Each structure stands twice: as structure tokens, then as C-alpha cells.
Amino acid sequence: MPRSRGLRARQLHVDPAGLGGRPRVTHVTRELDRYAADALLRDGSSIHIRAIRADDKDRLQAHFHGLGFDSVRFRFLGAKKDLTPAELRYFTELDFSGHVGLVAVRRHDGEEEVIGVGRYICAEGNHRRAEFALAVLDAWQGRGVGTLLMEHLSRIAAADGIERFEADILASNRKMFAVVTALGFRVDERAQSDVVHAWFPIKLTPEALRASDERTWRAASEGVRALLHPRSVAVGLRAYPTLASIGKLVDLVIVAVPAAGVEAVVDECARTGARGVVVISAGFAEVSDEGRQVQRRLRDRVRECGLRLIGPNCMGVINTDPAVSLDATFAPTFPPPGNVGMLSQSGALGVAVLDYARALDIGVSTFVSVGNKADVSGNDLLAYWKDDPRTQVIALYLESFGNPRRFARLAPEVARRKPIVAVKSGRSAAGTRAASSHSAALSCLDVAVDALFEQAGVIRTETLEDLFDVVSLLATQPVPRGPRVGVVTNAGGPGILLADACEARGLQLPELSPQSIDALRAFLPVQASLKNPVDMIASAHADDYARAVEIVGADPSVDSVVVIFVPPLATSAAGIGQAIARGAGGVPLHKPVLTVFLSSKGAPPALATGPRGRLPSYSFPENAARALAAAEGYGRCCAPRASSSPTPSRSLRTRRLRPPSGWDSRSWRRRSRPASCTRAMSGA
């Protein structure tokens, strides 16, 4: 790694003025000398980044001795055998104004190990320029440690008014050039023999912010992948007293012991090399302030040791990938494999969600019950699902937001690729109180949640029933390209109900083309209504359904098709289901086909036998209209486009916002505008 020109021999061997006993304390110092943050490496494991302290001398010396020959040469521009006491004082007793230093650490057996060191020193007489230096243990190079240190240093420096970083880098130090380039800044350089002088502005440009977000999302995705794709899991018929007694490396550990024993188990997980922990146990932040403190210690412990943790107070995780087939939950139901990624902040509700998914035949790719979200959050899972090829639709049950600003940047990126459907509970004061005692959820203004979801392109539903209705459509059918709906029914009343529900939600029932009407007239009875909705009357049989669905679906004025069936005495629902499935096979593939079976028996299995596979089915016309309107709004708002963020659209909600009683419309608009959503949720 490079040596900063501010770290030349004179400064390396002489204590800077004012650092005789304690560093000078300035306003910046009081903040930065306690600087600490957790970060994710490229493989998804975590490290702890903190300010260098005066008591780090032994750790820094051990770090130096762990550097290889080339790493020492790159860092100091020459060979070096040891750090002198004077150098150690200079490197650890900092003023955190003109000289700022950070270390990346991992904890082993209760002791910190320094794996990376980064610092910058302001140029003499020019506080707008600073020279930087990095050194990372050889075994940790290439994993993102240096990039993270540089990212934290550059943000600290920019906040303190520094405009530019620079350093002398050996021309052969390609890794350092890769670190600087990865930051997303524009780098200039000037060659001087075998040394290159490089400099770059550290202002956080959109390109740099984008690069930082992409690194964070990829790292979060890898961390979740390690939890959902373990190579080995500590479960089975044979029992072991400890993890160490297993005698093999365990990737994922499911913890279901009393809360008082969880910390000891996590410590053993770190010692034995586990990569992930799922804590089923309850009794943490959701029950008391003392439990909240224990949960914080648990979070800090796993992050210092490089683990990722789901929970506590959760139901577990599921991965239906046949190559993994992981069921680490206490749910009695294993869902069918499919393309829906599900998150539930409630464990008990997660059990019901899985049961409902199986009953509706909604295939699940992965399911995660996050519980109190001490470490792995909904944002981490969104980052994972964003690039997961098995997940095409994301369903969320949320009680709180941990980092709404990160959600506001990440969710639009995900929504442009695949739809996100969410239920957010805790709207009312009573609901908020219940959420805080249930999963340690923090309250947030519901108007802000609405604004955040609309800004991000998330489909918000009021109920779990609506969520499953929308997911059932999006998981099996294409997103509609427009609001025009063609309706085929064997009864006038349900068709009218559907027409009313569609129009109330911004959908349209256009007139069919003359060609379509002529084709329908050729086989339907004279009593049938050939307008849209097409009412074939109760005598319609299976072949009528198949032909009518294909004709209406092929009409150029129709973007989607809804087929309604009310079972008369003489007609078999199974035969009609098979005919609808056959007719749907003739509808252009970019148009969704929905069905409504007005029967207590529900839709027949034959509905899934056609070329398009399973067709979504609803018990009532209004359910189909709500789901279709939500999908159409998503398509209009978030269809792949070049813009950086989706256009807000009220149709992404399955309800309409109205000013509460006593509010005038102007103050309502001011409070509900999307620009203020993350500020309103900053305490969440």
C-alpha cells in the first residue's frame, strides 16, 4: 500500500508537537476519536472499523509483523523490519484534526486483531489537501478491507472541509490503484520514475455514491447468501454437547436456547468458524430495556467476529432450491418451490403466511423471518433478492424500518427489476404499541411510509389477503402494459361488479373491435351481450369459454383479461377450468389472464393445466380488480426505463389516501410529500 508523503522520515521518527502526553482535543477530535462503524466485506462477512487509539501500539506492531515483504515495501516505499517506539506513538496518538487514522478489526477469543490500517494527514499550510496511506494484512487483501477504510476516511475528510486526497504509489502496486478506482472518484496521476503521484477529489459525486451503494448491496447479498446456502448445518438426529464436539466446520447454526445462554453459543460459533447464526430464542429487545442491551451486545459480538445473524425472536429461514432444500424453521408447512421471496417480521404470522402460500399454490424461493432484525435486515434481503435468479417477486410483512434512507436508495433499484409487494402494520397508535412489544419495532409516521413506498415503487397493500392476491398475479402472469381490461363472464352481475371495481381504481373496460364482436357473435347465443364485459349467459359451456377467452385476449384494445365463472347446476367447474386454461394459451404472452370462481369450493386444479401454467384465481371480482390495478400501476411506474428513480404513482397502493378529519388539504399535502419521507422516519 502507498506511503503518504506526509509520513516521511522526519515525521515518522519525531513526535509531532502537542502530542507529548495526550492528543490535542478539538471539536472534531471529540467526535472522531470515538468513531466506530460496522461494515461488510465482499464475501458478506462483517468487520469493525474504529478510530485508532493510544492503546493500539501492540496491535499495530503485530499488524506490521503480519505484512508480507511486498506489502511493507508498498506501504513505506522501501524495506522495513520494525516500527520504533517513536513511530508507534506517532501512529497511535493522533489529534484527529490534521492526522486521522482508522483500523479495521476482527475479534478472536475476546481479543481484537487489526487487519487493516488507514490514515490521512493534511498538507502543511493547506487543510484542503491530505495525503493518505493504507496497509492491509496479506491474508485479507482482495476482500474489500482497503476500499472500506478509504471510503470511511474520504467521508470523514470531506465533512471536515478536505477536498482532495493524494499519495505516492509504487507503479507496481496495482492493488492500490484498484482500491482507488473502486471508490468511483476521478483519479489523476503523474509518473515519477517507479513512483506514481496520484490525486483525486473526494467530494461524494453521484458516481461515487452509486459505486458505494453497489458495493454495499453486493456485500449484503453475499452475507444473506451464506445464511440461505449453507454447505453444512448443525442439525440432525444425533446430538452433540457443543459445536466443537461435532468435529466439522458448521456454516449455519440454529440457536434455540434460553435467552441467557445465547451469547455463549454465539461466542462458540465464532470460535468454531461458523459463518451464520439464526437465533430463534426470544426475550431480547421486545421485552425490556435490559433485553435491548443484551441484543445490542449480541449484535456487536457477531459483527466484530465476522458473523451474520438473523433474529433474535424469529421463526427461521427456508430455501426451496432443490440444491439446498433448507428448512430451518419450526413451521409445520414447507412451501412449494417457486419464484417469490418472502420476509416476515413476525414469526407466528410467518407460519400462517407459509400455510396460506401452500394453500394458494404460491411457489416460494426463499422465506426469512427476521424477528428483531438485530443484524440482517429487510434491506439486506432486498439486496440479495435483487440479483437472485430464482426470485421474481418479493413479498414483505414489515412492522418497522431500521434504515429508511438506505431503503429509499435500494428499493427503486430492485423495483425496476422485480416487483415488491408490502404490508406495513403499526399504522395506528394501538398498532404501534403492539408492534413495539412484539418484535422491538420502532414507530414511524404512516404518512411517511406511504410516501417512501410510492417514491421507491413498492406496492403497498392494506391486508395480507390483498398481498397474496397481488403476489399471486405477479408470480404467474406478466405485468400488464396498460389499463384496458377485457372481461368474459357467464353472469351479468359479477361482470358489473368487476367493471365498477376496475373503474374505481383507474382501469378501463374498452369496447372490443368489430372483428372481435363478429367472431364472438358467430358462436354465442343471441341473448349474449357482446359488449365489454362479454356476458355469455349461464348456458355457456366449456368450448364457449375457451373460444371467448382467446378472442377477447387477442383484441388489440385489451391489455389484460379477467374471466369470471359462476357455477350453474349443469356445468362442471373442472371442465370450465380446463377450457379457460386452454383458451388462455391463445392469449398473447405479454397479456395477463386472471380468473374469478364465485364458489365456496374455489378454483379447480384443472385451471393450471394449460400452456400458461397456473392462472391466478380470486373468490370475488373486487379482489381481482384490486390486484390487477396494483400490477398495472407498478407497470406504469416501474417498468424498466433509463431514469434513476420511478415516478410516484398513487395506483401502487391498493387504497387511496384521504386527509384525516380536521386536516386541511394543504397541510396534508405538505406532510405527505415524498421528499420528506426519510426525514419523518429518521427515528425509525
Q: Where are the domains of the chain?
A: 5-204, 485-636
Residue-level pLDDT at 643 = 34
Mean pLDDT of the chain: 86
Instruction: Identify the residue with better confidence: 438 or 128.
Output: 128
* Four-point Cα dihedral 294, 298, 300, 303, nearest 10: -170
Q: pLDDT tens-digit profile of 610-627?
A: 999 999 999 999 999 999
Burial of 517 (0-12, 13-18, 19+ CB in 10 A): middle
Residue-level pLDDT at 21 = 30
Residue-level pLDDT at 429 = 62
Residue 73 main-chain phi, psi, to 5 deg? -65, -40
- Secondary structure (DSSP) of 282-347: --STTT-HHHHHHHHHHHHHHHHHT-EEE-SS--EEEE--TTT-EEEE--S-PPPEEEEEEEES-H
Q: pLDDT tens-digit profile of 211-246?
A: 999 999 999 999 999 899 987 665 545 778 888 888
How sure is the predictor about 579, in pLDDT bands with cuts at 50, 70 and 90? very high
Residue bearing cell 506501504: 75
C-alpha cell of residue 225: 447468501
Residue-level pLDDT at 126 = 86
Nearest to 34 by CA among 19, 51, 14: 51
How sure is the predictor about 677, in pLDDT bands with cuts at 50, 70 and 90? very low
C-alpha cell of residue 65: 509483523
Average pLDDT of the segment spanning 481-487: 98
CATH number belonging to domain 485-636:
3.40.50.261
Burial 334-343 (b: 16+ CB within 10 A, else e): ebeebbbbbb
End-to-end CA distance of the chain: 40
Task: Out of 45-59, 186-200, 383-397, 497-511, pick the least confident.
Answer: 186-200
Average pLDDT of the segment spanning 472-488: 97
C-alpha cell of residue 550: 382467446
Q: Does 5-204 carry CATH code 3.40.630.30?
A: yes
Rounded distance between C-alpha atoms, residue 269 and residue 260, angstroms: 16
Residue-level pLDDT at 673 = 36
Residue bearing cell 375457451: 546
Q: Is the pLDDT of residue 662 over 60?
A: no
Q: Is the pLDDT of residue 523 over 70?
A: yes
Rounded distance between C-alpha atoms, residue 220 and residue 213, angstroms: 10
Q: pLDDT tens-digit profile of 128-171?
A: 999 999 999 999 999 999 999 999 999 999 999 999 999 999 99
- Secondary structure (DSSP) of 225-265: HHHHS-S-BS-SSS--SSSGGG-S--SEEEE-S-GGGHHHH
Residue-level pLDDT at 656 = 38
Average pLDDT of the segment spanning 27-48: 82
Residue-level pLDDT at 526 = 96
Q: Is the pLDDT of residue 266 over 50?
A: yes
Residue-level pLDDT at 125 = 84
Contact 164, 129 (CB under 8 A): yes
Rounded distance between C-alpha atoms, residue 13 and residue 90, angstroms: 8
Q: Greatest CA separation found in the chain?
A: 103
Q: Is the pLDDT of residue 1 over 80?
A: no
Q: Is the pLDDT of residue 308 over 60?
A: yes
How sure is the predictor about 108, in pLDDT bands with cuts at 50, 70 and 90? confident
